[in-house]
Structure 1
């Protein structure tokens, strides 16, 4: 009986400390087993040669050496890595675009609900649908892009069939829903902006860009951080649109690392699971460099 009373008293004494952990435990376990463990599993698999069915053969860093020589010889890995860099920098345009759309939608304008619905629409449809819509839009025979260019006497452009334009065409398709997502993040952040700071800024003579830069944007740092991280991850894991719109073509010119990883691990290149895992490790490393840099920048700003 005394043990039961002691147990109850321990729970009552530490209830506020233990209760959050009890709620967090299922999510933490899920994250460990389905995110953290597969990351280390990929590191381990990248050290083996394996076709997915037979016995694994330990090869050390040979898969990474193959990636290096492909990069030197400007082979498929070089093309995929170069396209991923292009995706990273151009995809970041979704952040300022989403911010300015959110600033517009945050105003009191006639028909604002209709505008919000139209801008929100790309976020709720799947990437496959987005890819199909833009494939029709770019069609050299009846696509609206070439019809529009024809009004100005410009010749038709085979956006998805020309090695010079295909990557930019797919990125433009991806920016459509990504901008909508960033817009939602910033709309949520704008609802939490302190009106007293806005009023104080007005009293100090801040207007327009000065108000935005010195008063509004500092309060949107959490939304900016989430938008940055999600956009970086979206650019690096770009697979759906490329699979639907180009299948990596023409002649492999629109490949990115995620699609190339799929090709070498599960497609025509002979089920090289270890080599695909090495590509995944490189992709993860690039992602962590960008996210770590942004985290460090935010920490430095907060410290100031």
Structure 2
């Protein structure tokens, strides 16, 4: 009987090894070569990684990934706030929930285009709002100091909706006996939230943090649609810079591109190991 689970797992494990694990190691191996994807690869050892350390565009991309990392974390408290607001039994609340969740189910391309129009300094909605407030128009996507923050705001739009759904699901599964006991003890407001509600939402928070952080490190779509890395490459992140170097007309340097991909993979790996360690420690404490 102990063999039966392995018989079911083996096909999936083989597919995972062939289509996930093997390409990871192949990509790492390519990063040690100077290769344009067509000719004969030339082994250069750590040459690509040494070049990365002195590449100002790589440093800009890494800095922008850090901005995405911390900026995207705002979606978690924002999603929680929306969930608490929408967790009501009033007329029309289902329609309101659907409208707030809508950004998550539409394409990232559509969201990128909508926010590009929103930021348009000639006739965008932001222009009219700033004019109504007596402020001068700002070309956010053309300003190298603001462009990354503008794209992060666009990315927060669907990510907040996802976190909201996670928390709404968690709120529907709260233990009513604990809530009632806390009310009898006089708990309300912030005390109820922090002492009773949030501890029960820990699984939803865990999933929201994991998905949000991985999403911030994998950011690509919004940048490709809204700025294509501009202006002057100031909105690049590691994933987009990898694409530019390895697969676009600006590069065709497969070895260098895979070196960037390897750095991004190692950043994700460190985070995943940390998450797995925390899960293991929590399970040990529970046992």
- Listed as ranges, the matches of 1:250-265 within 5 Å are 250-265=231-246
Deviation digits for residues 128-183 of structure 1 (CA, Å, limit 9, x no counterpart): 00000000000001100010000011011101011111111100000000111111
Relative to the length of structure 1, the TM-score reads 0.88
> Is it true that 1:201 corresponds to 2:182 in the alignment?
yes
Q: Does 1:274 align with 2:255?
A: yes
Structure label with greater radius of gyration: 1
- Residue correspondence of structure 1 range 100-179 to structure 2 within 5 A: 100-179=81-160
Deviations 1:249-276 (A, max 9, x none): 0111101100000000011333111111
Could you tell me which runs of 5 or more consecutive residues in structure 2 were left unpaired when the two chains were aligned.
none
Judged with a 3 Å threshold, the aligned counterparts in structure 2 of structure 1 residues 165 and 214 are, in CA distance, closer, same or farther, namely same
Residues 1:60 and 2:41 are matched in the alignment: no
1:48 aligns with 2:33: yes
SS at structure 2 position matched to 1:40: helix
Structure 2 distance, partners of 1:82, 1:42, is: 23
Q: Which moved more, 1:183-192 or 1:285-294?
A: 285-294
Aligned to 1:235: 216
Closer, same or farther: CA 198–32 of 1 in aligned 2, 3 Å: farther
Q: In terms of mean alpha carbon deviation, does 125-134 or 18-27 score higher?
A: 18-27
Q: Match of 1:160, SS?
A: helix
Shift of 1:298: 4.8
2:268 and 2:108 map into 1 onto residues whose CA distance is 21
SS in structure 2 opposite 1:163?
coil
Give the count of matched residue pairs.
Answer: 285
Q: Assess, with a 3 A threshold, how the Cα gap between structure 1 residues 294 and 212 changes in structure 2: closer, same or farther.
A: farther
What are the Cα deviations for residues 87-131 of structure 1, in whole angstroms up to 9, with x where unaligned?
Answer: 000111011111111122222122101111111100111110000
From the superposition, tell whether residues 203 and 296 of structure 1 become closer, same or farther in structure 2 (CA, over 3 Å).
farther
Distance 1:103 1:206 in 2: 17
| Alignment partner, residue 34 of structure 1 | 19
RMSD, matched Cα: 1.8
Structure 1 distance, partners of 2:10, 2:197, is 36
Q: Residue 258 of structure 2: SS of its match in structure 1? A: helix
Partner of 2:166: 185
| 219-228 vs 109-118, greater mean Cα deviation | 219-228
CA–CA distance in structure 1, aligned partners of residues 164 and 7 of structure 2 = 34
TM-score normalised per structure 2: 0.93
1:223 aligns with 2:201: no
